[in-house]
Amino acid sequence: MRPLLALFAFSLFLSEAALAQQSNLQRFINGERVTYSTAGNPKAKGIEMSFDYPASWGGADGKRPNTLYQVTSEKGRGLESCNLVIKEINLPPGTKITSRDIEELFDPKGLKDFVPAGNRFISGKRTTLDGQPGAWVQFSQDADRAGVSLQMIWLMYQVYYDRRVIIFSCGVGDSGDKPRELVQQRFGATLPLFQLIANSIIIQSKWKK
C-alpha cells in the first residue's frame, strides 16, 4: 500500500475506534451497565465493594491470588480491559497507620514507584475514589507473552482503605507490530469511559460501619 493510502486507512481506523468508544461511553451513561460486587469473595480480604462496567463487556474471575475480577470489551474479546486487585499492607501487629502515613504513601514525588518494573511512567496525581485517599498513574508497557509481543497503556488507581490498598487498573493493548500511535489514540478515546468506570466504585464496607 502506498504511504498516502496507508495513512488514510490508518486515520479511518482511528475514527472508527473513537466512534465506537464514544458509543460505549454514551450507553454506559444511559445505564447500560453491569455491577460487579466483591461480596462473598475471599480474595476481597474482608472488603465489600463494587464497580460498574459496560453491558457489552465480559467479566471473569481473576486467576492470580490478589486479582478478584477482570472485565474486557466486546464480551471478553476486545482490546480494552479493567481489573480489580486488593492487597493488604503488611505491618507488625498493633501498628497504627496515621493520616500522615497515608499522605506520604501517595506523595506525588513517589508515584513513579507505583509503576511495575520495566514499564514507563507517563504521568500521575493524587485523587480520591468514594472519598478514600489515593492516586492515579498512567504508564506504558511492552511485554512478550508466549512469544507474542504486546504494547499497552494503563491507567492505574491505588486507593487506601482500612490497612488495605485497592488497585483498579484499566488499559488498552494491541500487538507489538502495530504503530504505537494507534494504541495511544485508542487509549485517549477510551480514557473518559475508564474514568467513569473507576468513579463508579463504591466501598460498601465503609458505609456499613
pLDDT value, residue 21: 63
Mean pLDDT of the chain: 88
In sequence order, the 6+-apart residues with CB closer than 8 A to the CB of 7 are none
Comparing 102 with 1, the larger pLDDT belongs to 102
Tell me if 72 sits within 8 A of 83, measured CB to CB: no
- CA-nearest of 141, 150, 91, 95 to 116 is 141
Q: What is the pTM of this model?
A: 0.87
In CATH, the number for domain 3-208 is: 3.40.1000.10
Beta bridge partners of 72: 58, 81
CA distance 133 to 159: 6
Give the model confidence (pLDDT) of 71-111 as tens digits: 999 999 999 999 999 999 988 888 899 999 999 999 999 99
Domain boundaries, the chain: 3-208
pLDDT value, residue 209: 67
Q: What is the mean pLDDT of residues 155-183?
A: 91
In sequence order, the 6+-apart residues with CB closer than 8 A to the CB of 106 are 126, 133, 134, 135, 158, 160
pLDDT at 201 over 50: yes
| Dihedral angle sign, alpha carbons of residues 88, 90, 93, 99 | negative
pLDDT value, residue 6: 44
Percentage of residues of the chain with pLDDT beyond 90: 67
State residue 78 phi and psi, 5-degree precision: -90, -170
pLDDT at 24 over 70: yes
